[in-house]
Amino acid sequence: MTKRTRNPQPTRPAPSAGRTGAGPGPVAGSARIREPQRPRSPLERYRGRLLGIGVVAVVLVVGGFLFLGASSPAYACTSVLQPEPAASAAPGETPRLGQVTRDLGRTHVDVGSSVTYEFCPPTSGSHYNAARLGPIPPLFYAKDNATVPEGWIHNLEHGGMVVLYRCPEGCGTDVQTALAAVQGQLPASPICAFPPTNNVVVTRFDQMPTPYAAVVWGRVLFLDSLDVGAIKTFYAQSADQGPEPWCQQAMPGSTPSPGAASPAAPAAPSASPVPTASQ
C-alpha cells in the first residue's frame, strides 16, 4: 500500500518590524522609487536676492529725486554785477545815486520755478505772481529767514525798494538790529507817498560784490557799509518808478504787462509782524 503524504503549507514571510496589517511587506532588497525633482530656474534660486536688490534700487532712485529736489537752487546767476563809477551830475544838481541796469523783462513764472538771471543782484526779470510769495510782504527778513529774487522782484515792479545784505558782513547781531531799523528811518515814498513799511523789503542776498545794496526796478546802489543816509537818498530819488507802480501813477515809458490787471490803488501788500533779528 502506498503511503500518501500531505502537501506542505506554504511558508509566509515574517512581517517586517513595525509593520501592521495583513498586507505583504516589501520584498527584500527592493528600493523605494522617487520621482525625479525638476531643477529650479535661476529666477527661483535667486528670487530673494533679486527682491532685495529691487527694493534697494527703488529706495536709491526715490532718495535721489528727493535729494535733487531739495538741493536744486531756487535761482541762479550767470554773472555778478560789478559797481560802476558814479555818474557826474550837472552843476547845481544833486547826483542821482546808483547805476542803471539792463531790463531783464517781467515774465510771471510758476511758484517754485528756478530762474537764471543774467546778472545778480537782479533789478528786474521773471518773478512769481502769488499772494505773499510775489510780491512778498515788505518786512525785515533776518539772516535765516530766506527769500528769493523771484519773490521780491515783483515788489520792484510795483515801485518798491529792496535793501540787500550779504553774510557774513550783515549777519552779526548788531548789524541785524541795525538792518531791522532801516524801514523806520526812511520817509514816505516820493510819488505814491506810501510809508516804507508798505514799500520796503530788507533781506539777505549773497550773490553781489559788496556787503550791502539797495535795489529798485532797473537800478542798483552798491554799498560797502550800511549807509542809511545814502539809502534814504536813493529811495527818495528812485522809488515808485517801477513799470506798474502801486499808486497807479502814469510813469514815462512804462508798458503794462499784456493781459495783466493792475491792482486797485493803493494796493500795497499787507505786512505781517516783523521777524525778530537772529542771533
Nearest Cα to Cα of residue 81 among 115, 125, 126, 121: 121
Spatial distance between the Cα atoms of 209 and 225, rounded to a whole number of angstroms: 12
Contact 141, 273 (CB under 8 A): no
- Residue given cell 529767514 in the structure block: 145
Nearest Cα to Cα of residue 25 among 37, 17, 35: 17
Tell me, what DSSP letter sits at residue 42?
H
Q: What are the residues whose beta carbons fall under 8 Å from the beta carbon of 165, sequence distance 6 or more?
A: 171, 175, 179, 202, 203, 204, 205, 211, 212, 226
Q: Examine the pLDDT at 196 and tell me if it is beyond 70.
A: yes
Mean pLDDT of 157-171: 96
- Residue given cell 518786512 in the structure block: 139
What pLDDT is attached to residue 221? Answer: 98
Q: What are the residues whose beta carbons fall under 8 Å from the beta carbon of 179, sequence distance 6 or more?
A: 140, 163, 165, 170, 202, 226, 277
What pLDDT is attached to residue 278? Answer: 35
What pLDDT is attached to residue 28? Answer: 56
pTM for the whole structure:
0.66
Residue 151, Cβ neighbours under 10 Å: how many?
Answer: 22
- Phi and psi dihedrals of 77, rounded to 5? -125, 125
User: pLDDT tens digits, residue range 234-275?
Assistant: 999 999 999 999 886 444 443 433 333 333 333 444 433 333
Q: Which residues pair with 140 in a beta bridge?
A: 202
Half-sphere exposure of 126 (CA within 13 A, CB side): 15
Spatial distance between the Cα atoms of 114 and 112, rounded to a whole number of angstroms: 6
Report, in this order, helix, strand and coil percent for the chain, each rounded to 5. 25, 15, 65
Contact 233, 97 (CB under 8 A): yes
**Residue 208 identity:** M
Q: Examine the pLDDT at 170 and tell me if it is beyond 50.
A: yes
Contact 99, 83 (CB under 8 A): yes
Spatial distance between the Cα atoms of 245 and 264, rounded to a whole number of angstroms: 11
Mean residue pLDDT of the chain comes to 78
Cβ-count burial of 179 within 10 angstroms (0-12 exposed, 13-18 middle, 19+ buried)? buried
User: pLDDT tens digits, residue range 59-107?
Assistant: 443 344 333 344 456 999 999 999 998 877 667 777 899 999 999 999 9
What pLDDT is attached to residue 93? Answer: 75
Q: Examine the pLDDT at 191 and tell me if it is beyond 70.
A: yes
